[in-house]
Each structure stands twice: as C-alpha cells, then as structure tokens.
Structure 1
Amino acid sequence: MTCLFVTASFYYFMQLLRKKYLSKLCAIYYVLFTTAFLWTSYLAWFVLLAQGVYVLWKKRYDILAFQAIAGLTLLAWLPSFLTSLGIGHSTLSGSPEWGRVVGGLTWKSLPLTWIKFNLGRIGFDNKMFYGVLVAGVGLLHLAILRTVPYKKYLILLIWLIPPIFLGLITASILPIYSYFRVLFVLPAYLLLLALGSTKLSKIVIGLNILFLVIFWLSPRYHREDWRSLVSNLPANIALAMPSRAQSAPLFYYSRGQDIIEPSHDLIVGNPIYYIRYVEDIFDVRRVGAAKLQESGYTITNQLSYPGIAVDIYTK
C-alpha cells in the first residue's frame, strides 16, 4: 500500500514540477497521496524530506506549501508515534534480540537490499548456485544502469537513494530498517532499469518474466503462509504461541479461538499445536517449550510452512 501511495505521490509531484502554473487537481492529488504514505510507514517520511530538498533546490516554493500541508497532518499522529516509540525502546531494552530481528543495522543491510531488489525473495538451498545467480543478475543490472542518462532522470535518484540511506542511518539508533520496509523505492529502481533496458534482447526480457512467474506462483517464496497453516489445522486442538499479541493472522483466516502463552498461562488441552512464530523475539530463553515439557507434554510431530514452524505436543 505504501508503495502505491509513494508512486502516485511522485507521479503528481513530477506533474507539478513540469508546469509553471499549478494545476489544482494535481495539487489536490499530490497532497492526498503524500498524506496517505506519511500515515502508512515511518520510513516513507524520508520520501517527503527528499522531495522537499529537491523543491528547495529547484526554487519551487509553491509546491513546498503543499508538502507542508501533508506534513502538518502528522501532528494528529504525534501522540501515537510517541507511544509507539516508547514501546519500542522498552521492548528493545528488555529483549535486545528483538532489535536485530525486526530491523537492526548490520553490514548486510545495504547489500541485502540491493540483492532483494534484483531477485526478490527467491532463494535456493544450494548457496553456491544462489551466489552465482546473485552475481550474474547483479552484473547484468549494473551494466544496464550504466547506460541511464541520470542527469535527465535525477528525480528517480531522489526517489531511490535518500530514503534508503536515511533509513540506514536511523537504524543505527532505532531498529526500523529492513529491505521489505523500503519497497516503496523499488519502482524508481525498476524505472531506471527499464530506461537502460531499451536495447536488451528478448531472451533477457523473457528470463526476467520467467523468474517473476516462478516467484509469484511458488508458495515457498511467500513471506508467511498462514492461509495454508490455518486450513490444515484440525478442529479440536489447543493453540499456543510465544506471544498472544502475534495471533492476528489466525483470526484473519477465521481461526478465532483462545491462544495459550505457555510461558505465562495455565496449560490445558491435548494435543497442543505450538506455533513458534517470532519465538526469537518474545521467548528467547524458550520458556514456553520448557513449560510444556514440565507439564508432561512431548513433541510427537512437527510441521513447517514458509516462515512458520509448528510443534505438536501431546500428553
């Protein structure tokens, strides 16, 4: 959703930049879509900052007024933002591992972003093959990007680069950065590739389409397959998770029942399906699994779905 809003915002931003006299309709759409992305992602705030600097450089102060209108709407969100910030700091101090998992800054952050922009979430068990594929596609993209007349398309660089680097800098203080959180800059990267790909052969274009089809149709590349998990759960079972706060996907797919937190709750039911989702964040010491064993339960089976592991305990 953020990607859609940012793309629409940049479209109307470019329309306003091209015209000496402002179009009221373009201005309204620009404010609406800019406001929308500001309210859907913290990292997208850097997009407005980049647009503002660009407008100042171009001396288009008329557009700056519309940016101010969109930015000022965040004042209504300020109390919630401060609350979220406090919760984040509290969670980080209580569980440092949480920061690493959700978006801490590491040496891999920037390279991983570029790799995922090139290949998506596609992966292979054979690491050597995956490395060769990453290198091959990366070199191809670099060759394509070398042909782009960047001076003519500076606006795309404004869209692509500042949000990533500002996000990385912020992640050194707050764990907010991950490649999937900056997908709103991906259209700019793809547009640059498209501009440099006008002379590519049909074979290369066909291979790109093939990789996209494989990615879209293969469940193993989906982030978390909650739909399959819920559809395969038997009726008369107890469900447990390291944190009940992470049970929203179960309710979304119509699995509305009480969730046990083994580390805190009274453990009842047989069998118990223990969904070990984000266990590294909310139960680093594996207290939940230990409590299940202390209560006389043993693991009799294990299930695995993309991004989700399930242990089946019986008594």
Structure 2
Amino acid sequence: MKKVIAIFAIALSLRLIGLNQSLWLDEAVTAVVVRDLSWTQIMTNFAPQDFHPTSYYLLMKLWTTFFGLSEISLRMPSILFSLGVGWLLYRLKGLWPAAFFLFNPLVIYYSQEARMYLMVTFLLTLAFYSLERKNAWLYCLAIILAFQTFYGAIFFIVGLMFYLLVIKNWRFLMLTFGSTLITVGMAMPLLWQQWHNSQEITALVVNWKNVLGTASLKNLLLIPLKFSIGRISFEPKAAYYLIAGLWTTMVWSRLKWRDPKAILLMTPLLLALVFSFVSPLLSYFRFLYLLPVLAILLNQGLKNNYLKIFILIGFIGFSLVYLLFPQFHREDWQSLARDLPEKTLVYGIVSSLEGINYYRPELLIKDLRFSALMAKQLLVVPYTAEIYGFDYQKRLIDLGYHQKRQQTYRQLVLETWVR
C-alpha cells in the first residue's frame, strides 16, 4: 500500500506544477460559459452553437459555484478524473498499468486542462471496470454518461461491442446496445442542431477542417506519437522526429497485440478515420480515452520489470520537459490581457478572444471583420484570423493603417496599428 500511496502522491504533485499557467482559448470558453450563463442558458443558448454535450459544462457550473473560477479551480476536476482513472486501473490490473497511465505525458498535459476529455476517459474506464466486475447497472450508467459528456465516446462504445462479440459476452453486448440507444436518443435533438450548425461553420470558416483533424496520414501518425511523448515538440525537427519516432516505436511494439483488448484500442481509431472522411475529427486529443487500454496492453506486453521501469522513467522525463519548460505551456492570454491598457478596445475575431474576456471582462472586444474602423490607433489580436481565412492586414492597410508595434507572447501576438 505504501507504493500505491507514493505513486499517487507523486502523480498528484506533478499535476500541480504550473497549474496556474494561463488558460488557453477552449478553457477560457469553459470559464466564460459557466461564469456568465445560467444553467438554463447553457442548455438552450450555448449548447446548440457548441460541438459537445452539456454534461461537462453543467458539472463545471456546479464546481465553480463552490470553488471559484481560478485557473487552479477550473483544472482541478480534470486532475481528479485522471487520478480516478489511475485508481480504477490499479483496482483492475495492478499498479503498473496505473503508473503507465498516471505518468503518461499526454495524460499529464490534459490533466491540467479544463475540458471534458479526462471526464469521458474516467467514465469509459469505469464502464470497462464495471464490465470486468460484472456490474451491469454501473456499466450502463457509465456508457450513458460518457456519450452525454463527449460524442466521440461512441467510437469506444462500438469498440466495446466488437470486443464483447469476440469474447462472447452476449449479456453485456445487449446491455451496450440498449444503453447506446438510450443515450443517443437522449442526445439526438441537441445533436441534430449541433450537426447542422457545425456544417455551416465548416463551410464558412475556410480552414476549420484542418483544426478539427482531417483524415490524413499525418494526423493518423500523430496519434501513436503523441500518445507516447505528449505535447512537446522541439527544433531541429529532424532530431525531434528521430527521438519521438524511436520512442514511439519502442512503446507500441511492446503492446500485447494478441490480447482481445487490443480491439478496444484499434477499433475506435479505425472508425474515426473512416468518419473523418465525412466530418473531420482525427485529432489525437479526442482519443485520450484509449490511453487506459494502452497502459493495460503495455503492462501485459512487458515481461521484464527493468524495461517497465525504463519506459516509466521515459514517460516521467517527457512529462517533466513539458512541466518545467514554459515554452511548451499553453497560449499566454494571462500576460497579454494584463498588458492591455484600461478602457481600451481590442479588435480581432470575437469568438476567439475569450481569453481576454476571462482575464479582463471589463474590456470591450470588437470583431475586426465587421466593425467600422475610425480610431487613429487600434489594438489588434489576430488570433485565428488565418483559420477564418481573413486577411486582416490587407483590410487595415486598405483603410490607411500601418503597423506601429508588435508584442509577442507565448503563441500570441498583440499588434498596434495607426494612421
């Protein structure tokens, strides 16, 4: 038990490093939604324009009511869910799979993000745990809640169906079908609205498909790579791909592929690849829920404890690179917002500047695409302008402006234009 306590204590400690770093755009959206909207407004006003179910936002609304809206508070549920996954893996398969998951660099990165990906990972792991423990009611509840948290859970749920078919567990196969019908039926009215709106956005926003993750070889290969080394990247790229490629090959070659549970790892990826030809979503972070399966298969494939220790040290090493070097942290809206003058107007793509809204809610933000520009000086944050296919520089130059100053922050730019 001392080893278990030590592993979880270290895992928690690592997750607390830099937890107060700046929120990035999607996290700021979460924060602003739960800060500014009522429970009803989240479900009726916000949800139809979003791409996710409401469960996570409602949970965060409840959480922030008691614990506030600081960066640490907003991210703490993800930390707790990740530790919960580790505990389920420990109870199910022992300490090694739990450690492989808890110290996986991608898990540590997203444990520090105020989004729904660790919540759905916990729920799907709970479903698998309930299956192994033959707890039908908990299994059905976990399946239903998982889809109500993240629609992408459907790929894992279908993978469960194939897995149950292979192991000939007919009872739980029927339970999976029934639970899926219930949860999809519950979500369908909202899902239909969101699907329609997403198609409109995809048509209007020039490069939106690239953000979502098109069905490409690059996006497909990034999944095992990021599952193995996390979100870090460095120059020169040749060295990065060499190191990352060798490490990824070693990790994935050690998985026990002959185990039927490998179906749970590969089926969701294959289904998502096919689906992405219709509607892009092949981004690696959407499949965090596969990492518990990877941890189990890795443990089963490694027979040598020294090799297990080596891989665990590698995971911790990559995690520390992210945690200790700020250049790998998220967009620095915190510093940018702090440097903005009092009572100023900020121009940009309004929906992409929620980071400013979170840190400086008193400031007025205007859309650079549609606003009448009359002032002699403009503060411009051109974040996502390229994604929207908006040539903001051409518009400003055509109106007689020229760039006077550019201030750079991590992954962000603040420009001053004058005429």
Fold match by TM threshold 0.5: yes
Give runs of aligned pairs for residues 1-315 of structure 1, distance below 5 A.
1-19=116-134, 26-67=135-176, 68-145=178-255, 148=256, 150-151=257-258, 153-155=259-261, 157-197=262-302, 198-200=305-307, 202=309, 205-241=312-348, 243-269=349-375, 271-282=377-388, 284-286=389-391, 288-315=392-419
1:196/1:7 CA distance change after superposition, 3 Å: farther
Shift of 1:239: 0.9
1:133/1:230 CA distance change after superposition, 3 Å: same
1:143/1:107 CA distance change after superposition, 3 Å: closer
Higher helix share: 2
Q: Is the 8 A contact 1:6 1:33 kept in 2?
A: no
Distance, in Å, in 1 between the alignment partners of 2:406 and 2:202 is 30
Shift of 1:94: 3.3
Structure 2 match to 1:23: none
1:289/1:125 CA distance change after superposition, 3 Å: same
Max radius of gyration: which structure?
Answer: 1
Per-residue CA deviations over 1:174-229 (Å, capped at 9, x if unaligned) read 12221111222122223333444433175554343222111123332234332333
Provide TM-score, normalisation by structure 1: 0.83
Distance, in Å, in 1 between the alignment partners of 2:181 and 2:325 is 40
* Higher mean C-alpha deviation, range 65-74 or range 123-132: 65-74
Q: Is the 8 A contact 1:237 1:272 kept in 2?
A: no
Distance, in Å, in 2 between the alignment partners of 1:180 and 1:201 is 25
1:71/1:231 CA distance change after superposition, 3 Å: farther
Shift of 1:170: 0.7
Distance, in Å, in 2 between the alignment partners of 1:64 and 1:201 is 34
Per-residue CA deviations over 1:252-310 (Å, capped at 9, x if unaligned) read 3343432111221122556433222221222x140x33333344432222233333333
Q: Is the 8 A contact 2:327 2:410 kept in 1?
A: yes
Distance, in Å, in 1 between the alignment partners of 2:149 and 2:185 is 14
1:71/1:220 CA distance change after superposition, 3 Å: farther
Distance, in Å, in 1 between the alignment partners of 2:150 and 2:227 is 19
**3-state secondary structure, aligned to 2:306:** coil
RMSD (Å), alpha carbons: 2.6
Q: Which runs of 5+ in 1 are unaligned?
A: 20-25
Per-residue CA deviations over 1:28-74 (Å, capped at 9, x if unaligned) read 33233322221232222111111123234444343245432354133
1:223/1:103 CA distance change after superposition, 3 Å: farther
* Higher mean C-alpha deviation, range 88-97 or range 164-173: 88-97
Q: Is the 8 A contact 1:262 1:289 kept in 2?
A: no
Distance, in Å, in 2 between the alignment partners of 1:261 and 1:304 is 21
**3-state secondary structure, aligned to 1:273:** strand
Q: Is the 8 A contact 2:144 2:182 kept in 1?
A: no
Q: Is the 8 A contact 1:38 1:74 kept in 2?
A: yes
The code of the aligned residue for 1:137 comes to W
Distance, in Å, in 2 between the alignment partners of 1:211 and 1:219 is 14
Q: Which runs of 5+ in 2 are unaligned?
A: 1-115
**3-state secondary structure, aligned to 1:175:** coil
* Higher mean C-alpha deviation, range 273-282 or range 6-15: 6-15
Distance, in Å, in 2 between the alignment partners of 1:201 and 1:100 is 36
Q: Percent identity?
A: 24
1:192/1:226 CA distance change after superposition, 3 Å: farther
**3-state secondary structure, aligned to 1:163:** helix
Paired residue total: 301
Distance, in Å, in 1 between the alignment partners of 2:394 and 2:166 is 60
Distance, in Å, in 2 between the alignment partners of 1:201 and 1:174 is 38
Per-residue CA deviations over 1:93-118 (Å, capped at 9, x if unaligned) read 33442212322222212111111112
Distance, in Å, in 2 between the alignment partners of 1:164 and 1:300 is 48
Provide TM-score, normalisation by structure 2: 0.64
Q: Is the 8 A contact 1:238 1:269 kept in 2?
A: no
Higher relative contact order (CA 8 A, sep 6+): 2
Q: Is the 8 A contact 1:250 1:256 kept in 2?
A: no
